[in-house]
Structure formats: C-alpha cells, structure tokens
Amino acid sequence: MDKKILIGGAVVLVAIIAAAAMFMGGSTDTDPTHLTVAAHSNIKEPESGFDPLTGWGCGHQNYNPLVQSCLFKTDANGTIVPDLATDYSISEDGLTWTVNVRDDVKFSDNSTFDANDVAFTFNKAKETESDLDLTNLDKAVAKNATCVEFQLVEPRSTFIYDLRYLGIVPEEYDNSTYGQNPVGTGPYVLDHWDKGQQAIFKINDNYYGDKPYFTQVTLLFPDEATWLELAKSGQVDVVPVATSALNQTVDGYQFYEVSAGRAQGISLPYLEDTGAVSPAGSKIGNNVTADKAIREALNVGIDRQKMCDEIFSGHATPEFTSVDTRDYANPDAKVQDANVDEAKQILKDGGWEDTDGDGIVEKNGTKASFDLYYQPDYLDRQSLATVFAEQAKELGIEVKLVGADWDTIYANMYSSAAVMQQTSPDPYKSIYQQYHSKEADDFYMNPNLYNNSDSDKLMEEAMHSNDLSTANTLWAQSALVNGGGWGPAGDAPFAWLVNYDYNYFIKNGIDIGNQPDGLGNDVLINICEWTRTNSA
C-alpha cells in the first residue's frame, strides 16, 4: 500500500515537473504574430526613453519610431509620401511651408490628433534635440485643426526630411514621463521596457493605417559581439550580421542584404596646425593631412574594391564621395583608385619623398605620418582602419591606429584622422553639414573643418532652391567646382572607402515586404507590411 502511494506520488511529481517545464522551461514564444528583433548597434537603446524630442527615431540616426508616426513616410520606391500629412505646399519665396494633416487620427491614449500637436512638436524639438538641426525653423503655427504652417528663416529645400523623420507627440507632452510612457500615433504602443535588455511594443488599436500583421514587437539591444549567438539560439527573428560573420550561415535563417547608403571612410584634417584650438580646447590642424598631395594620394592609391571583397566579403561597394548612391551624386567627382604608381607620383610631385629609406615619405623634415582614431566596438571600423593603415603604408604614408571612445575621438578629430560613417539620405546632413565651412564647434559634422567658398556657395544655393531636381544638381556640382570641392577629384577632404550594406539574418518564413533602397539601417521602416508565412 505504502509503495503504491510512493510510486503514485512520484508519478504525480514527475508529471508536475514535466508540465511546468513545458509551460515555463521552453519560454520560446510560439505566437506567430509576435516578432523579436535585435536592434542594430546604430539604433542605440534610448537613454531618455522613446521620445522623438530627445532623439528617438530622428536626430543622429533616422529610423521608424514605431510608437510615433511622422508627417511623411518613405514608400517602397524611396519616395517621400504623406503619412500624417495629406499634402503640402511651399510658398513662392520658399519661406513658408504649409502642411495639411489628417483629421481622423487619435493618439494611443484616445486624445485627438490635430495641427496643434504638430506645431507643438516642432517648436519643442527645436529647443530640445541638438542632433536634429532645426535652427532654420523660425516657428510652426497651427492655422486650424488640420493645417500647420512652418515659417523658415531662409528657404531650405531639405526641410522635407525634417518633416519626414520627426515623430509627432501630443501637446500634453511632459518631458519627465514621456520617455517611459510614450504616447503617439504610430502602429505600436510601448508595453513595457526592461532597461538594458528589451522593449516590448504591442499593437496600437487606434492606428489609422492598415493594421500590421505582427501584434507584438520585442526590440532587443544586444552587443554586436553577441549577434551571431542570438541568431544561433533561434529565439530572435531578425538579427543584424556582424562583419566577422558575413560568411556564416545559420540554420533556419535567410541572409538578407539591404542597401544602405552607409558610407564609411576616413576624415583627414584639412587645416594646417597653427596652434589654434577649438572652444572645448581641442587641437586644430594637422600639417601632414593638410597637404593636398597626401589626401589625393590616399584617395587614388587605396584599393576600395579589395576592401569590399575582403573585409566585407562583397557585401559592400566602393564609395568615393559619401553620396555615390544618392540622387545628388556627382560621378565626375570620383577618382580612379587602386593606382599605387600614380599615388606615389602625386606624392613626389607634392614634394614628398623618402629620403631616409625607412619606407615613409618626408617633406621638409616632416614625416608623412598621422594618427587614425577609430571606435573599437565596431568590428567593421576596426578592420577598415587596420586595412587602410596597411594600404597607406604601401604608398609611403604611415597611419598609426588609436582605438578610443567617441569623446576622445571628437576631442581629436580636428587634428587627427578618424573613421567616420554617414548614412543620412538628407543632403542637408550628408552634404551641407558635412562639408560646408564652419567655425570649430566640437560637433561631429564636418570633422576635418573642410572649407571651400565656391563649394559653400553652391551648397547654399541648393539649400535655398525650391525645386528638388535643381537642388540635386547644385548639390552634385558642389562636389567638384573649379578643381576644388569636397569630392576626391576636388579637394579630397575625406578618403571615403566603402558603402557597407546592412545585413540581417531573418528567420525563414518572415516576409519583410519591399524595402526602399539606401535605407538599410531602418529595417523596420515598413513593419506594417511584414508577415510570417509559415505560421504553424
């Protein structure tokens, strides 16, 4: 009798444990409409929460803010089309942009969306978000519930990109709580957020567009080093591929490559070292890289295709002007590269010769040697820096690598080379801020203090133009003007190296729809179109 009870008890115990293991142990989410995404390291976990006014979705990087939606969006062809807006017009003088907005939209907290919210968002963002340069916006005024007027200080053709990327927040915005409890008009609402680990978004029932297939999106913020492990664990649906794993395959995942317009290259200080310092006290100028022959020789002598093939296993294309793939690219501003002989000739003509036989050229007693700063957390930048230094050595230029955090890099960018990256489709960011002359202000745009008055003039004209195609032509021209300009065929202030595509492991059966070209950093851009086709 006792034995039976004992056996019975044991059986029950085993059954309970087994049941518990089935419910709890295998915590893998089997709901097909739930999606888990590992964010790329370019989309950092926002410290101050999911708040567009402190940089979520706009600012340093542009991506789908999920919780909020914007006035405009990008369609599958890459065209900017209305989202919260219905249409817009620009006044004759280019100073007033009038945007009509939808009248059928509710925020996730059931309050009604109207033009006042838009005006509030832009006026507030102008004060709060430094990465999003809205200095040119004088003010935004709501004319009535569905019409908002933007008054600009001077005409700006690229203002559409600001309208495109700033997520709209309600007028009842409170900066102390908004980041934790964001309220928006986007397809999702923030369900909960485990800081340092994950943010879970649930579908927004008030969303005005087509409801997305995925009712829950979990966003993880892992280190680049753990990406491959995450994919191999099979618990994450979308995982970015690190540079070192480009040759790998993971069972159950497809390798997905999205073009990025992600230019990576080396900024070369443009000014001579005159002892000047920036407001923050950083040294300005470098006598080696300020010599045009050095910059030109690097641009001509470097083998970009080899870098693409070797470092990036072919998942990149050579990049010359930082905007090669954009509408405002200038193919004439490119140079023929991988030409070591010509590079050496350029150095020789520039007065650089190896007189002491150490393999490094000199000019007037100055050795052609400079420091190159890079951020070591990114494997792609580390390997680019290493290979760049190797190739430069063949030309007779010594590049000394310095791995450092961003603060140190920014403190040294005016006097040393640095590995930089640029992704924005907005020419205001990718050209005007990058190449227009400025006073040293310790901001990371135009890190080498490039300046050329001819080029400046064309950029200003492009900014002031009301017509997009005229503007694009002007942007392109500024890359090469009177033998100068910011392209490598001009003044060559940068040695842009590669255009590195964004690569993801995406679980079999997930259909990510049609992604627009050149925006690969924002893989969730069309999350509303995503589906899972093999749902069990």
Partner 1 sequence: MIKKKTDDKRQWFLYSANLRVKTFVIIGISALVIISIFVSGYFIRDIPTSFVNANQMPSLEHLFGTDWMGRDMFQRTIAGLGLSLMVGFIASAVSTCISIVLGLFSSFNKFADECVAGIIDLFGSIPHILLIIIVSIMFGGGVYGVIMGVGLTHWTPLARVLRSEVKEIKTKEYISLAENLGRSRFWIALKHIFPLIVSQIIVGVILMFPHAIMHEAAITFLGFGLPPHEPAIGVILSESMNYLSSGYWWLAFYPGMSLLIVVLLFDLIGENVEKLLNPETAQE
Q: What SS3 state is found at 218?
A: strand
**Nearer CB in complex with partner 1: 244/531:** 244
Closest contact distance (angstroms) between CB of 378 and partner 1 is 11
Q: What SS3 state is found at 481?
A: strand
CA atoms within 13 A on the CB side of 319: 29
Closest contact distance (angstroms) between CB of 391 and partner 1 is 10
Nearest residue to 363 via CA among 287, 298, 300, 285: 287
**Nearer CB in complex with partner 1: 154/310:** 310
**Nearer CB in complex with partner 1: 281/483:** 281
Q: Pick one of 386, 451, 473, 531: the residue that binds partner 1 (CB under 8 A).
A: 386
Which of the ranges 68-76, 95-103, 124-132, 395-403 carries the binding residues for partner 1, by CB under 8 A?
A: 395-403
Q: Pick one of 34, 102, 202, 232: the residue that binds partner 1 (CB under 8 A).
A: 232
Q: Pick one of 390, 441, 467, 511: the residue that binds partner 1 (CB under 8 A).
A: 390
- Residue pointed to by tokens 């032509």: 473
Cβ atoms 297, 343 nearer than 8 A: yes
CA atoms within 13 A on the CB side of 61: 22
**Nearer CB in complex with partner 1: 134/246:** 246
Which of the ranges 132-140, 175-183, 245-253, 450-458 carries the binding residues for partner 1, by CB under 8 A?
A: 245-253
234 in contact with partner 1 (CB under 8 A): no
What value, to the nearest 5°, has the Cα angle with vertex 461 and ends 456 and 464? Answer: 125
R_g over Cα of the chain: 26
311 in contact with partner 1 (CB under 8 A): yes
Which of the ranges 85-93, 126-134, 227-235, 317-325 carries the binding residues for partner 1, by CB under 8 A?
A: 227-235
Contact partners, residue 500, CB within 8 Å, separation at least 6 = 260, 262, 264, 312, 315, 316, 380
Q: Pick one of 29, 93, 191, 310: the residue that binds partner 1 (CB under 8 A).
A: 310
**Nearer CB in complex with partner 1: 229/511:** 229
369 in contact with partner 1 (CB under 8 A): no
**Nearer CB in complex with partner 1: 147/387:** 387
Q: Pick one of 376, 406, 513, 533: the residue that binds partner 1 (CB under 8 A).
A: 376
385 in contact with partner 1 (CB under 8 A): yes
As a whole number of angstroms, the distance between CA 421 and CA 502 comes to 13
358 in contact with partner 1 (CB under 8 A): no
**Nearer CB in complex with partner 1: 296/398:** 398
Q: Pick one of 80, 84, 297, 404: the residue that binds partner 1 (CB under 8 A).
A: 404
Cβ atoms 268, 417 nearer than 8 A: yes
498 in contact with partner 1 (CB under 8 A): no
* Amino acid symbol at 169: V
Which ranges constitute the DSSP H helices of 108-170?
A: 115-128, 159-165
Cβ atoms 118, 148 nearer than 8 A: yes
**Nearer CB in complex with partner 1: 109/390:** 390
CA dist 315 → 224, 311, 506, 507 (Å): 17, 9, 16, 20
Count of residues interacting with partner 1 (CB under 8 A)? 26
245 in contact with partner 1 (CB under 8 A): yes
Contact partners, residue 66, CB within 8 Å, separation at least 6 = 50, 57, 186, 187, 188, 201, 217, 219, 524, 527
317 in contact with partner 1 (CB under 8 A): no
Phi, psi of 387 (to 5 degrees): -70, -35
Which of the ranges 204-212, 239-247, 495-503, 513-521 carries the binding residues for partner 1, by CB under 8 A?
A: 239-247
Encoded one letter per residue, x for contact with partner 1 by CB under 8 A and - for no contact, window 279-298 reads: --------------------
**Nearer CB in complex with partner 1: 67/384:** 384
As a whole number of angstroms, the distance between CA 150 and CA 165 comes to 15
Which residues contact partner 1 by CB under 8 A? 225-226, 228-229, 232, 244-245, 247-248, 310-311, 313, 376, 379, 382-383, 385-387, 389-390, 393, 401-404
